[in-house]
Structure 1
Amino acid sequence: MNASRLQSELKKKGPFQSPEQEAILNILRTSDLFENRLGRLFREYGLTSSQYNVLRILRGEGKPLPSLEIADRMIQVVPAITGLIDRLEKQKLVRRERCAEDRRVVYVEITDKALETLKKLDAPLEALHKSLIGHLSRKDLKELSRLLEKARLAE
């Protein structure tokens, strides 16, 4: 039996213990590659992946959101959303405002500076997406998304 591509990449001598193990390791390996490439691009604009994610959420919503709502919408779980928003505020990429009715709620608003940064980042990010998985057909991309969503149902 021929070694899988992942087996070769990892220089693994024997077969994987199970197809589940091989699939999980493939997902982790791919995720690491994508995160590194995306992280490199975001750093060119003074952002981390998590900071970009916050700004993407706020731009998409088009209005201020409570910080806990932002945390719920993050792609990757962030344990300290307050610290993340602190750093964005220091960079003047977001503003915070306490809710008048409930002082425990803090609304976060994207700034014009952040919108300008995201606008500059849009084309290079799209190009990176295409370079990472643009070789897959539209049908393959839909199937990949479907399978990944199906895999997350086990949560």
Structure 2
Amino acid sequence: MNLEKELKTHFNTEKEQVHLNILFTSNWVKNNIEKAFKTYTLSMQQYNVLRILKGSNKPMSVSDIKSRMIDKTPNLTRLTDKLIEKKLIKRVNCESDRRVVHIQILEEGKMLCEEITEKIEDIKKDIIKLSEEEAKELNRLLNKLIRKE
């Protein structure tokens, strides 16, 4: 795919093209990944909460979950309330400080997270056509762009 043809525009600089390419590609990948959620009544943000909790293997505070979120803007209380309604997670009191409430993933939440993760992995294999070396180089460049290298 040629970005200039896709967007029907001409870029004045390479950096302008990089900027729009990142935005376009991010949206394209997100739209493809969202296909995995069509059969579930779950948003990408809710899945992200499940993924974080599953990876933790222990209850986490809301602030710890929020610090690991990809999208830092969502209202985490609302997201967790919906996941509790769906019986995928639960609130648990912190043993060392009763004022603190942690969030714990339930078995059904783990199973759903694994199922969706498998679908996402299949989609990523279909859409991300890079060798390991190319992926490593792209990661290096993106990290450089956000100054984390």
CA gap 1:20/1:106 in 2 versus in 1, 3 angstroms: farther
1:8 aligns with: 5
Q: Deviations over 1:86-110 (max 9, x none)?
A: 111111111012335151x320000
Normalised to the residue count of structure 2, the TM-score between the two structures is 0.90
Amino acid at match of 2:133: K
Report the RMSD for the aligned CA atoms in angstroms.
1.7
- The number of aligned residues is 147
Give unmatched runs, 5+ long, in structure 1. none
In structure 1, C-alpha distance between the alignment counterparts of 2:46 and 2:114, rounded to whole Å: 15
What is the percentage of aligned positions where both structures have the same residue?
37
In structure 2, C-alpha distance between the alignment counterparts of 1:122 and 1:75, rounded to whole Å: 16
In structure 1, C-alpha distance between the alignment counterparts of 2:109 and 2:139, rounded to whole Å: 29
Q: Deviations over 1:53-72 (max 9, x none)?
A: 11111111100100111001
Normalised to the residue count of structure 1, the TM-score between the two structures is 0.87
Amino acid at match of 1:11: K
The alignment partner of 1:21 has SS state of helix
In structure 2, C-alpha distance between the alignment counterparts of 1:84 and 1:139, rounded to whole Å: 37
In structure 1, C-alpha distance between the alignment counterparts of 2:52 and 2:18, rounded to whole Å: 30
In structure 2, C-alpha distance between the alignment counterparts of 1:87 and 1:20, rounded to whole Å: 41
1:39-118 matched pairs, under 5 angstroms: 39-100=34-95, 101-103=97-99, 105-118=100-113
Runs of 4+ in 1 over 6 A off after TM superposition: none
- Return the structure number with greater relative CO, CA threshold 8 A, min gap 6: 2
In structure 2, C-alpha distance between the alignment counterparts of 1:127 and 1:58, rounded to whole Å: 22
> 8 Å contact 2:45–2:74 — kept in the other structure?
no
> 8 Å contact 1:45–1:117 — kept in the other structure?
no
2:131 aligns with: 137
In structure 2, C-alpha distance between the alignment counterparts of 1:111 and 1:55, rounded to whole Å: 9
